Amino acid sequence: MANTRVVISLSFAFFLCVAHGAQITLTNKCGYTVWPGSQANANSAQLSQTGFELPSGQSKPVDVPAPWSGKFWARTGCSNNNGVFSCATADCGNHVECSGAGEATPASLMEFTIASNGGQDFYDVSNVDGFNLPSSITPQGGSGTCNVASCPANINAACPSELQFKDSGGSVVGCKSACVAFGNPEYCCSGDHNTPATCPSTNYSQFFSNQCPNAYSYAYDDKRGTFTCSGSPNYVITFCP
Ligand SMILES: *[C@@H]1O[C@H](CO)[C@@H](O)[C@H](O)[C@H]1NC(C)=O
């Protein structure tokens, strides 16, 4: 019986070693504080921390299990008024920890599928739900192409008036995608436009892809948006790279 227990313990230890996840380090190079948030997809567990404050110049590592799929974003302009926490952009419901809640649009998204046992990872920066701040995803280690996914441009500064998202003081703090702004099926790739063939790029998605060629500009922008890396890399997400 004792031997059985040892074998089970060793098998479990081996399992822990093989199915290693990724460390994702969030780095804030913006000149202002951001509040990163994360949300796991339906088939994955929420991370142990789903939101925190990240002052300018600071970094924080987050452990992600494998397999895992989900997204990160950063809230801006957050404050605590009479005990109610809220943010100008990408709020997840009046709490520093998002606890499974998603983000308000417009928000730049950093999306990941972390595979286990040396499987392939997928990652991208997405402007499909609009943009709120520049960002990049840099793999560390790993094997395969492992290119940097990024949207380093400040799209807020170039945002067409009909897409602008302003804070209470009137500053442009986000840029809505055409889907978020207008909701038409041809912009949202919904209804009769729910396939790559029936949802081509539009002048609005081209505005985003001209600004950020290495990020998703609309839902079927897979060729531009999708990045892959194998061999269990770690990642750095940089805000304002
Ligand atoms: C896109 O096209 C629409 C309709 O033709 C036009 O009203 C709009 O100004 C254009 N937007 C951009 C960003 O070029």
pLDDT in tens, 74-91: 999 999 999 999 999 999
pTM over 0.75: yes
Q: What pLDDT, on a 0 to 100 scale, did the predictor assign at position 6?
A: 44
Task: Evaluate whether residue 198 is within a structural domain.
Answer: no
Task: Evaluate whether residue 196 is within a structural domain.
Answer: no
- Mean pLDDT, to the nearest integer, of 108-116? 93
- Give the rounded percent of residues in the chain with a pLDDT score beyond 70: 91
Residue 203 Cα to ligand 1 middle (Å): 6
Q: Pocket residues for ligand 1 (CB within 6 Å)?
A: 160, 203-204, 207
CA angle 177, 55, 134 (to 5 degrees): 25
Task: Evaluate whether residue 40 is within a structural domain.
Answer: yes
Domain that holds residue 69: 2-155+214-239
Residue 180 Cα to ligand 1 middle (Å): 15
User: For the residues of 55-71, what is the DSSP string, one character each?
Assistant: -TT-EEEEEE-SSEEEE
Q: What pLDDT, on a 0 to 100 scale, did the predictor assign at position 19?
A: 55
The CATH number linked to 226 is 2.60.110.10
Residue 172 Cα to ligand 1 middle (Å): 19
* Protein residue whose Cα sits closest to atom 14 of ligand 1: 203
Task: Evaluate whether residue 187 is within a structural domain.
Answer: no
Is it the case that residue 131 has pLDDT exceeding 80? yes
In terms of Cα–Cα distance, which of 16, 28, 3 is closest to 239?
Answer: 28
* Protein residue whose Cα sits closest to atom 2 of ligand 1: 203
User: For the residues of 98-142, what is the DSSP string, one character each?
Assistant: -TT--PPSS--EEEEEE-STTPPEEEEEE-TT-BSS-EEEEEES-
Task: Evaluate whether residue 230 is within a structural domain.
Answer: yes
